[in-house]
């Protein structure tokens, strides 16, 4: 992120990249006021407000490198082994679930964001491995969107449908059993066991994320794109 955050300045007090990144991470982790974060980091609130969007863009730019679904044979083999060791469940290449992140009612297509629990949200899909690392995240669909629609229309779902799963399968959604090469492998009893094991991973990740103030802040600020 360094090249994107180093500012050209005539002053001798350019803010080090490390200070910019750590300040923003502290803000995202605690949800405290910008002025307080600035005081801790030795920068003003106005300066922090200026560097915040730059650091966020830098983090988003790194996402494709850090959040990647395992498509290669070796990567999937490693994920399967981890799930087998942790859960005793074979051939698992990921655990999947969706969660609703509350937002303020948007001005455009407001009705589409009202979910089945009658509040405004974005329906976010996550796929994780046995170590709680996020392998894929889809956060583009309004709260009224059904989970099955999201998985059918995401890049991972499409590639698995085309056979990229190598006869492995995801734990979590009943719809997954209809994917190519998986239906014959999934029995009713297995589905229930899989749901329980999935909760050991995805639900734990979601629980940790929802404890972060960044997620709670979305209740009051609808992200504009």
Structure confidence by residue, pLDDT tens digits, 6-26: 665 545 457 888 999 999 988
**Averaged pLDDT for residues 199-209:** 68
The three-state DSSP-derived secondary structure of 154-188 is CHHHHHHHHHHCCCCEEECCHHHHHCCCCHHHCCH
CB burial readout 198-221, b (16+ within 10 A) else e: bbebbeebbeeeeeeeebeebeee
Angle between helical axes of 17-30 and 45-66 (0-180°, round to 10): 90
Q: List, in order, residues 6 or more apart from 201 with CB less than 8 Å away.
A: 95, 128, 129, 130, 132, 171
Q: Mean pLDDT over residues 97-114, rounded?
A: 92
Quick: pLDDT tens for 78-87.
999 999 988 7
Query: What is the average pLDDT value for the chain, to the nearest integer?
Result: 79
Tokens 């730059």 -> residue: 54
Q: Could you read off the pLDDT of 125-173 as tens digits, one per residue?
A: 999 998 889 999 999 999 999 998 999 899 998 898 888 877 788 887 5
Query: Is residue 127 within a helix (H) or strand (E), and if so which, with residue range?
Result: strand 121-128
């Amino acid at each position: 992120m360094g090249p994107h955050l180093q500012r050209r300045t005539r002053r001798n007090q350019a803010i080090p990249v490390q200070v910019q990144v750590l300040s923003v991470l502290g803000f995202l982790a605690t949800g405290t006021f910008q002025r307080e974060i600035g005081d801790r980091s030795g920068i003003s609130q106005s300066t922090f407000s200026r560097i915040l969007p730059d650091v966020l863009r830098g983090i988003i730019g790194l996402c494709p490198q850090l959040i990647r679904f395992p498509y290669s044979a070796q990567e999937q083999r490693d994920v399967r082994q981890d799930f087998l060791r942790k859960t005793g469940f074979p051939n698992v290449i990921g655990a999947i679930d969706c969660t609703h992140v509350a937002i303020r009612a948007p001005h455009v297509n407001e009705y589409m964001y009202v979910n089945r629990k009658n509040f405004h949200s974005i329906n976010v899909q996550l796929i994780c491995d046995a170590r709680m690392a996020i392998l894929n995240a889809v956060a583009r669909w309004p709260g009224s969107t059904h989970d099955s629609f999201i998985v059918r229309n995401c890049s991972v779902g499409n590639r698995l449908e085309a056979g990229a799963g190598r006869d492995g399968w995801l734990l979590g959604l009943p719809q997954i059993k209809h994917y190519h090469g998986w239906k014959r492998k999934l029995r009713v009893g297995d589905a229930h066991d899989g749901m329980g094991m999935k909760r050991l991973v995805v639900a734990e990740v979601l629980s940790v994320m929802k404890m972060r103030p960044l997620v709670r802040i979305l209740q009051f600020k609808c992200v504009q794109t």
